[in-house]
Copies of this chain bind each other. A is one copy, B any other.
Amino acid sequence: MSENIPFPVGELPHPAREELILSQVLFALSDPARLAIVSQLVEGPLDMARCYLTDPTIAKSTKSHLMRVLREAGVIRNEPKGRGRTLSLRREDLDYRFPGLLDAILSSAPSGERLDLT
């Protein structure tokens, strides 16, 4: 009985580069847990299972929600990969729309939220 097919859960919707809204990006990055996620993605794409949260007691549905906020703001990409997901930073799009913003934020981020950039 397939009624109410909401979404095929596989490919998720991502805003186009031109649709990114500054306020939404700032809001997404204004949460320490979300910013910490972004910091982990600076080095490159990451399997979601290998993307750790500052608070390990958080429910997986909450983790999923954090990713959703980042994705809907256009900060990260979330793609199916095997039985899991690959997360990646939309650096080009962010730099194109908001030049210097990501760098400024990442270089100001608390050290606990920043990886080694040497």
CB under 8 Å from chain B, chain A span 12-31? 22-24, 26-27, 29-31
Taking the full assembly, how many copies of this chain does it contain? 2
Size of the A side of the interface (Cβ < 8 Å), in residues, is: 22
Shortest CB distance A66–B (Å): 14
Interface-located stretch among A45-53, A55-63, A84-92, A94-102? A94-102
Chain A contact residues, majority secondary structure: helix
Residues of B within 8 A of A32 (CB): 23
A100 CB contact (under 8 Å) in B22, B103, B110? B103
Question: Is there a chain B Cβ closer than 8 Å to A70's Cβ?
Answer: no
- Chain B residue nearest to A113 (CB atoms) is B22
- With CB as the reference atom, state the residue of chain B lying closest to A25: B30
- Cα A29 to Cα B101 in complex, Å, equals 13
